[in-house]
């Protein structure tokens, strides 16, 4: 899916397309429409990078059941 945002709107916001993408992904994550993994994929970042960005913004991290299970599986390997 492609979302069209006019160039002048992006300019007026003082953001570039990558920043717009990050802001949208974080907004959707905060509203719990996207998981952390989905939001990271949307921005082209690794989950850890997105977690760091969320931390800078003091946005709490919430995990889906699948993400928690994945983390538990990793801990069992360690």
Instruction: List alpha helices for 1-78, DSSP H.
Output: 7-13, 17-30, 36-43, 47-56, 65-77
Structural domain contains residue 73 = yes
Please give the average pLDDT of every successive group of 10 residues along the chain, which has 78 residues: 88 91 96 93 94 96 79 85
pTM of the model: 0.77
Instruction: Give residue 41's domain range.
Output: 7-77
Q: Would residue 19 count as lying in a domain? A: yes
How far is 26 from 58, CA to CA, in rounded Å?
Answer: 12
Q: What is the pLDDT of residue 70?
A: 80
67 lies in some domain: yes
In a domain, 34, yes or no: yes
Q: State the total domains in the chain.
A: 1
**pLDDT for 74:** 86
Quick one: residue 67, left, alpha or beta (phi over 0 = left, psi -120 to 50 = alpha)?
A: alpha
Question: Quick one: pLDDT at residue 63?
Answer: 74
Query: Is residue 1, in this structure, part of any structural domain at all?
Result: no
Rounding to the nearest 10 degrees, give the CA dihedral for residues 31, 25, 53, 47.
Answer: 100
Does 2 reside within a domain?
no
Domain membership of residue 62 (yes or no) is yes
């Amino acid at each position: 899916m492609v979302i069209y945002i006019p160039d002048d709107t992006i300019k007026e916001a003082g953001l570039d397309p990558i920043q717009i993408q990050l802001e949208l992904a974080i907004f959707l994550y905060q509203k719990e429409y996207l998981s952390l993994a989905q939001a990271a994929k949307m921005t082209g970042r690794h989950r850890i990078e997105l977690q760091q960005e969320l931390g800078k913004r003091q946005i709490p991290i919430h995990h889906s059941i699948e993400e928690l299970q994945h983390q538990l599986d990793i801990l069992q390997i360690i």
